Amino acid sequence: MEERVKSLTYKGRRHLPLPTGPFTVGCTDVMTSYLKFGVFVRLYYPSRDQGILDRYLQWPLWLPHKEYLNGYSVRLGIPSSIFRFLHQILVGKLYIPAVWHAALRQSDEKYPVVVFSHGLSGWRTVYSSLCLELASYGFVVAAVEHRDYSASASFYKKQVRMSASGTNPGASLCDLDDLLNDQTDFVDGKWDPGQGTQDTSMRSRQVKYRAKECMEVLDLLEDLNKGRYVVNVLESNIDSGMFYNQLDLKNAFFIGHSFGGSTGILCLATELRFKAGIFLDPWMLPFFEDQSCFSMISQPFLCLLVKSFQTKKSLEILKNLQDMHSQSQFYFIKDADHRDLCDTPFVNKYSLSLSSKVGLRIERFAALELMSDLIFQYLGHHLGKSIRSSSSKIESLKKKFLRSEEYFTKLIA
């Protein structure tokens, strides 16, 4: 795997791994309103195009804009100029191997859908490797960019009057301090990504707003499937009508990582349109004071945890969640890092972890491989079919690093 990833460069363009499924992947952004809180998603879907390498000039960049680096640098407490320099050296330009604004592959069998929620300081492209893989096997994935201060940055379309000379409306990209300059029902005043990380009250309000956004994404997908006109203020070239009667909303799944995982817990408690959920190392701080929503969950879910990220208190709360839902599945990945479950292992040109090289932690890409396998097996179970088979390497990784429910009791004791 290490050697395969090192060679991921085509025509001078370094890119995320090519998805392994039978379909070429298309992608586009949809923003539904000029208002700052309009739903904003990156859609990944099976494309009718063939030959992804032949279309390398149509690949979008993994980093949508440098402002996302500025926001993340605040979260890390690193001056933005230094962080951008390090990003240029260690990452540089990285591309997503998907056809921008591609046409949807029309199918007699509707595509199941996934709503994906990012973690704190993430954005809509941070989990592109997993979203690409899902789309290549016949899912339509809507990766949300949240507008609750939890993203590193976001942008919105400014509504501008057309002048007599026909000036086009302009798009403005802003950091989070500028995104919300008014009082809201979930944030008391202004907050920047580097402060208030452990503010339980604020996080509990944010997770409610995030869940509301995910429900609105389901509304958007329903509108697309019914052939209703959907405003996309980004004025992309995509034809929203191509999704008409192509989406299987009876098989709608939620996947979220970290803050996105806790968002999924609330989503399943309040939105019955989700058939099942997958929580990737959920951040349980929003539920430290109130877990009343746990008993409201009626759908099954899979919870994948990284031991090093979870505190004793969060593990106790997760154990309560597990005890309320005996049909749920809980797994732990040993010797992994919380960020191993997003695109981070693929983003850096070089592995900076000596501990993984000497065997003190999981191999650089192993956690992603395990996560991906568990997700496909779980989704396949709920769809009643096998989507992607496990390799012998995956089975070996499971024996070495994956632990199930009995490991939970050992950690709590």
- For 36-54, the pLDDT digits (tens) are 678 999 999 999 999 999 9
DSSP state of 162: P
- Between 199 and 170, the higher pLDDT residue: 199
Listed residue (59, 75, 49, 47) closest to 17, CA to CA:
59
**pLDDT(144) > 80:** yes
**Among the options 258, 262, 328, 356, which is catalytic?**
258
> What is the reported pLDDT for 399?
93
How distant, in Å, are the alpha carbons of 75, 80, 348, 393 from that of 368?
A: 24, 28, 15, 13
**pLDDT(293) > 80:** yes
Find the range with the poorest average confidence among 105-109, 123-127, 181-185, 316-320: 181-185
**Among the options 15, 118, 146, 338, which is catalytic?**
338
| Tokens coding 12 | 């001078």
Average pLDDT over residues 401-406: 86
Strand partners, 143: 42, 116
DSSP secondary structure letters along 97-121: -SEETPPBPP-SSPEEEEEEE--TT
- Residue 406's pLDDT band (boundaries 50, 70, 90)? confident
- Residue 164's pLDDT band (boundaries 50, 70, 90)? very low
Q: Do the bridges between strand 9-10 and strand 13-14 make them parallel or antiparallel, or are there none, so unpaired?
A: antiparallel
- Residue 33's pLDDT band (boundaries 50, 70, 90)? confident
Element (H, E) at 172: strand 171-175
The residue count for the chain: 413
- Residue 163's pLDDT band (boundaries 50, 70, 90)? very low
The verdict on whether 281 is a catalytic residue reads yes
**pLDDT(352) > 60:** no
| Tokens coding 114 | 């996934």
**Phi and psi (nearest 5°) for 100?**
-70, 130
Quick check: pTM over 0.75? Answer: yes
**Among the options 148, 281, 343, 373, which is catalytic?**
281
CA distance 345 to 363: 10
CA distance 394 to 378: 15
**pLDDT(5) > 80:** no
CA distance 95 to 45: 17
> What is the reported pLDDT for 351?
64
CA distance 55 to 60: 11
- Residue 99's pLDDT band (boundaries 50, 70, 90)? very high
Find the range with the poorest average confidence among 24-28, 189-193, 227-231, 396-400: 189-193
